[in-house]
Amino acid sequence: MAHPTYSVPLFSQHMEVDSSDLINLFQTFIEEFAEEMIDLKASLLNKDYIQMQRIAHNIKGIAANLEMDSLFEFTKSLNDGLKNNEPLPFDELVTKIEKEYTSIVDYLKEYYGSALNLEG
């Protein structure tokens, strides 16, 4: 069981905590990030770029702390582009972020099985 861009065992080594604590951390991540994705897409639709940048900054920090390197790179590109008013295809970046997030969630579900107790 492997993911192309993320490794639970590697992150676990750096965190030095029990498996159950790590599961709680990932559950919090999955729930918070899902909410942020909803707000991010709503901000994109409304062309609210200030709010988009705030969200991008927050999820970039989360991705960095959890050592999700690809997710970090995508969120960083979005954050930097919005901050510097660069003419980037923001919708494509949001799609990339969502795909990477979904892929990591699938990996975590496969890795932890039913131990990862997600609602909905």
Partner 1 sequence: MNPKRILIVEDSLTVVEQMRLFLRNENYKVTHAGSEFGMYQMIEEYGKVVDLIIMDLTLKNENGLDLIDNLRKNEKYSKLPVIVVTEHAQVDFILRAKELQVSDYIRKPITKETFIKRIERTISQSTDTNVADNMTHTSDS
Binding site for partner 1 (CB under 8 A): 14-17, 21, 24-25, 28-29, 31-33, 54-55, 57-58, 61-62, 64-67
Q: Residue 33's closest CA among 68, 8, 5, 6? A: 68
- Least distance (Å) from partner 1 to the CB of residue 19? 12
Q: Which is nearer to partner 1, 13 or 85 (CB)?
A: 13
Cβ count within 10 A of residue 10: 10
Q: Which is nearer to partner 1, 31 or 92 (CB)?
A: 31
Between CA 32 and CA 17 the distance in angstroms is: 21
**3-class secondary-structure state, position 115:** helix
Q: Which is nearer to partner 1, 28 or 89 (CB)?
A: 28
